[in-house]
Chains A and B, each alone.
Chain A
């Protein structure tokens, strides 16, 4: 059945509270939820707050909860729904206004993660580096992350328990994995994982993987291998002893 109009319920409000407001939107072929929201903005509610940039699922700005499910609005065709859709802001972050939330915490977390650190030898080498495709492919998956923060939004540690001080969230496990598994990185971030990053809080429910618009296997390819690395050194009795006696490997962060 071809839809001609859509009843779009958009959450309007701010930190003090708000409610769903209904707008009737004319439907165009191939319309995505972001188109409908921007139509409302241009024609019915000029001060409707919404973040968006590329409208091509490359920048990760237009994250929202569509019928309660965290998705990118630019990548959600309205044809996937009936004639009625509800859109609200991400719930894990404080709302600023309407669909816009305060995601600044994520940018603070990023600063706490020690950046890419190659060896002195590699750094001082005048020759361009050689790396094999198969060695870089592993981190390429993690580097696809567009920082939409939908994984942070859906993570129950952050969303339901608000443990933002204790766990950095799936996005930053992906970030740490991209550094730890980079063929040229020599820093050891396992103490960070056990401590401030709070990797132990993740109990691998895989919700983050499910919402990732870039299809990054966050749990299987980033979190679980990081847990294994961390467990190796901190919870394996033999290795734990060896570590205390002083062992090689990467430099501690």
Chain B
């Protein structure tokens, strides 16, 4: 291919992704004086954050006076089965109340307690009612507030519907990125002094998922390609309750708020089966436990005709359900003709979230590659082996801000964006690879390859895994990578809004995530949190102090165990305390 032309755009901080973390990071960096450019694959305000329903976890103790950062820290660490980065869990528990209150000061509107404080609802594995919320559309409130704040913050600019496909490095630093505009396929070379990845997860590598089309793991793949280390890649969360029918909506999220507001799970025999899996916490046990319980019930033949279990909230008053869970009411009525005020829902686990992702330094979100930062779902560490509901929105706010602050600070001591020398060969090679599918009219369809990736991951890396299946999955993923390298656009030659061509790049990102997941899952020879192995059904206490780190080597991808630094005594002591149980009578 001849030399491709592109436009060059300079900024101080480049942020890839405009969900909660990206926008919070943009606001922070701009307030610190940096010029910020946010680049996102969709329109502004459509990022996956918008789908978050239940709430944002913050120990504000508005409902249960006993709550504190210590209890939130302990819940998060225990939920994550202790392989979390304990410093991130500490920062998160301490700072999330400030981040929520700050949102309110930027115009967010939360549900209130009778005293007029921000109301907090109970959620799975949180000791006390902790989730600030607005009905069941908290994500929309969060993203709209941040979006309006960001566009009215001087120094923030946004490039919508633009996909980054390569991080550019010079002298070992990340100094920019290459991207194409989805509308017309034109190319942009971004030059920056610091780059924050905030592009979310990779749920689309599974067939049944609550994730939107964007969640193709781009950020993780870009970071890996640039030399960044990944961590805990085996840890992906299956949300216990996704819709199961009709087929078209399979996987769509049913908020944990349903259980938080009193919904109960029953198998086809009418048995409240959580009794057998977690007698104490029942439906509000941690997500990994509830998801596996539902999975076991279905496998044992106690599932519904559509392969799920029943989730019933119809014992609550219709007005209560409609006010607390308005979008769930609407979703079931509209899409499956079920009135949840009268009938039970049918639900089954759906791939929801990646605890896995890019390894970051806890204070700043810095990766091991200079100039490269990461925050939000694609950064790993806070959630360990299992994420608690509500901890993702607070994660976005707390670490989005920290990454933005750190990136702005890095600008001051880094080469100016315009002064770095970028190797033209690096640029032209990346562009040639992006454009190549156009030259292969007979190449396989990227949509077909995507479907095969989904089948492979759903079959070989499901809720409960075993070595033989994982190895078989790895062979298939390697084969799929070969085929993805020679896929085509089916003869279509248009650069204008061409989703087939866009998909040909997205699948390469998913394949990096898939390979890392399978390799890490093979290495962790135990069951812990979201990672369950039928060939190693027990939790191995030795492995509570180990993370698995994925990195590039000259021979391909490697996964290595790395010991977790010892927790300082003031944190370890918190984990050993016992906390007063919460009784709803104390509420308000």
Contacts and interface: CB of A to CB of B under 8 A. Distances in A.
Given A28-B246, A46-B445, A133 B118 contact: no
A140 B48 CA distance: 21
Pick the 7 closest A-B CB pairs, nearest first.
Answer: A30-B246, A46-B500, A116-B107, A130-B116, A49-B497, A42-B447, A47-B492
Contacts of B104: 128-129
B112 A133 contact: yes
A251 to B, nearest CB: 16
- Chain A interface size band reads 35 or more
A124 to B, nearest CB: 10
A51 B43 contact: yes
Interface of A: 14, 28-32, 35, 41-43, 46-61, 75, 77, 96-98, 100, 102-104, 107, 110-111, 115-116, 118, 122-123, 128-133, 136, 139-140, 143-147, 179, 182, 185
Contacts of A51: 42-43
Given A53-B48, A59-B46, 12 more contacts: A30-B335, A47-B499, A49-B496, A53-B212, A55-B249, A75-B335, A96-B183, A107-B151, A131-B112, A133-B114, A143-B140, A179-B107
A145 B213 CA distance: 21
B501 interface: yes
Contacts of A129: 104-105, 116
A116 B102 CA distance: 13
Nearest to B143: A59
Contacts of A143: 109, 134, 140-141, 144
B496 A130 contact: no
B489 A54 contact: no
A97 B183 CA distance: 8
Given A57-B331, A103-B43, A49 B498 contact: yes
Contacts of B446: 46
Dominant SS among interface residues on chain A: loop
Interface in B98-133: 101, 104-107, 109-112, 114-118
Contacts of B335: 30, 32, 75, 77
B186 to A, nearest CB: 13
Given A28-B247, A53-B212, A130 B115 contact: yes
Contacts, number: 174
Contact of B497 (A29, A60, A98): A98
Contact of A100 (B60, B111, B497): B497
B45 A147 contact: yes
21 contacts: A30-B245, A30-B248, A30-B336, A31-B248, A46-B490, A46-B501, A48-B499, A53-B212, A53-B213, A54-B51, A55-B252, A56-B249, A59-B45, A61-B42, A107-B44, A115-B149, A116-B106, A129-B116, A130-B115, A136-B109, A146-B140
A223 B229 CA distance: 53
B472 interface: no
B561 interface: no
Given A46-B447, A136-B112, A35 B499 contact: no
Scoring B112, B451, B501 by chain A CB atoms within 10 A of each residue's CB, the highest score goes to: B112
